[in-house]
């Protein structure tokens, strides 16, 4: 198995690549420095020269607030870059797996979003990721679009909170969303399973089971690690940010991953 992994240096890529090693699959791990997905000419030149069996496309412009000020960059990476990568999959007639987001929904629902529910992103990040989904669907039928949410793993939100707890005893958290904190490790295992089992192509919602707000999620981190930090939930109006967030962004993932509290516990207890 020869795999192109874009975005390998990101939070999810760092979790996934060791699992590809375990499978003993050959893969080309790329970041923006060695393989800029927005450089159409370079992407085509390089890809004409190598032989591939599968593409895992994780690269993205992921800063939700900065995307509001830099829509051109967000669309360039998330739409045009994705088009370039999707065209490689089409040309080589190989499957492509693209990781998308809960931000393709507007968050006005009152029950978990199904893959068939209408999308209606309310921020630039969500709009550009949805544009990326459409590029993939247009380019090839051999696609997996995995929508996920609130990923944590090495160097992410959970780790940042642990570092924070070494210095501070209280924190205010904007508690404006209900979503699914999801372990990058669990999602990575699911990606391996999808590839190995040749699952049917299409759109998947893959998050941890259950749901939480940011304040409860943060409290749970400190509780599990027995850190004495008081968490205060604050309103978004107390801490205005450039991008709107979907309020209710729970994805109906059919409980295919463990409950978020159990996975969070596993992640935290495996850390020193
Ligand atoms: N994190 C979440 O909560 C979350 C939730 C839902 C969906 N997702 C999606 O999951 C995917 C992975 O997320 P993540 O959290 O791992 O992202 P991340 O930590 O922000 O990493 C982004 C990756 O994309 C690469 N990249 C950015 N611009 C590029 C370009 N022009 N050419 C090539 N590579 C480029 C980065 O390379 P450099 O290191 O060189 O910058 C990095 O490897 C993304 O597509 C994201 O939209 C993430």
- 75: domain CATH number is 3.40.50.720
Is 266 inside a domain boundary? no
Q: Is residue 117 in a domain?
A: yes
pLDDT digits (tens, 9 = 90+) for 40-79: 999 999 988 889 999 999 999 999 999 999 999 999 999 9
Q: Examine residue 271 and state whether it is found in any structural domain, yes or no.
A: no
Atom of ligand 1 lying closest to residue 36 CA: 32
Give tens-digit pLDDT for 159-169: 999 999 999 99
Number of domains making up the chain = 1
**Residue 272 forms part of a structural domain:** no
Q: Is residue 226 part of a domain?
A: no
Domain containing 116: what range?
A: 2-155+180-210+250-258
Residue 169 lies in a domain: no
What pLDDT score does 48 carry? 87
Angle at 85 between CA 83 and CA 91, to 5 degrees: 100
Cα 41 to middle of ligand 1, angstroms: 21
Is the pTM higher than 0.85? Answer: yes
36 is a domain residue: yes
Tell whether 245 is covered by a domain. no
Nearest CA to ligand 1 atom 2: 151
- Tell me the catalytic residues: 125
CA of 228 to the centre of ligand 1 (A): 32
């Amino acid at each position: 198995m020869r795999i192109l992994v874009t975005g390998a240096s990101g939070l999810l890529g760092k979790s996934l690549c060791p699992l590809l090693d375990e499978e003993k699959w050959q893969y080309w791990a790329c970041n923006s420095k060695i393989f800029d997905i927005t450089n159409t000419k370079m992407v085509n030149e390089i890809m004409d020269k190598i032989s591939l069996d599968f593409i895992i496309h994780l690269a993205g412009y992921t800063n939700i607030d900065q995307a509001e000020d830099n829509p051109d960059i967000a669309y360039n990476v998330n739409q045009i870059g994705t088009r370039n990568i999707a065209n490689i999959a089409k040309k080589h007639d190989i499957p492509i797996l693209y990781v998308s987001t809960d931000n393709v929904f507007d968050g006005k629902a009152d029950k978990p979003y199904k893959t068939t529910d209408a999308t209606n992103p309310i921020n630039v990040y969500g709009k550009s990721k949805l544009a990326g989904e459409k590029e993939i669907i247009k380019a090839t039928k051999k696609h997996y679009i995995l929508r996920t949410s609130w990923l944590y793993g090495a160097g992410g939100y959970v780790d940042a909170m642990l570092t924070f707890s070494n210095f501070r005893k209280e924190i205010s958290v904007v508690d404006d969303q209900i979503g699914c904190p999801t372990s990058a490790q669990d999602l990575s295992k699911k990606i391996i399973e999808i590839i190995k089992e040749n699952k049917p192509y299409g759109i998947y919602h893959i998050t941890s089971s259950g749901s939480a707000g940011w304040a409860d999620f943060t409290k749970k981190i400190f509780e599990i690690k027995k850190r004495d930090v008081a968490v205060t939930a604050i309103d978004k109006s107390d801490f205005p940010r450039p991008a709107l967030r979907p309020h209710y962004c729970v994805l109906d993932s059919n409980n295919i991953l463990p409950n978020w509290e159990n996975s969070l516990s596993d992640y935290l207890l495996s850390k020193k």
